[in-house]
């Protein structure tokens, strides 16, 4: 019987910004504004071929079979 290859789950971070807030701490930013800004950031990075550089290495990983 062949044993299945191990697979891993990796966590990454990506920076993005939301403009137009009128609150110093950003408490007026909505989930929709965040989602829109994140999509714009990812689309821009993909178009320029910079996504891997912007995201960098995984900050956490674990084996999915354990």
Contact 1, 42 (CB under 8 A): no
Expressed as residue numbers, the domain containing 46 is 29-54
Q: Looking at residue 7, what is its pLDDT?
A: 97
Specify if 6 maps to a domain: no
Specify if 12 maps to a domain: no
Specify if 11 maps to a domain: no
Specify if 13 maps to a domain: no
- 61 pLDDT above the threshold of 90: yes
Tally of structural domains, the chain: 1
pTM of the model: 0.81
Determine the straight-line distance between the first and last CA of the chain, rounded to whole angstroms: 19
pLDDT for 6-58, tens place per residue?
Answer: 999 999 999 999 999 999 999 999 999 999 999 999 999 999 999 999 999 99
Specify if 7 maps to a domain: no
Q: How confident is the model at residue 1 (pLDDT cuts 50, 70, 90)?
A: low
By DSSP bridging, strand 8-11 and strand 60-63 are: antiparallel
């Amino acid at each position: 019987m062949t044993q299945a290859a191990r697979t891993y789950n990796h966590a990454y971070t990506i920076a993005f910004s939301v403009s137009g807030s009128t609150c110093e701490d950003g408490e007026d930013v909505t989930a929709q504004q965040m989602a829109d800004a994140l999509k714009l950031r990812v689309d821009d990075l993909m178009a320029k071929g910079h996504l891997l550089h912007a995201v960098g290495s995984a900050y956490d990983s674990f084996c999915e079979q354990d």
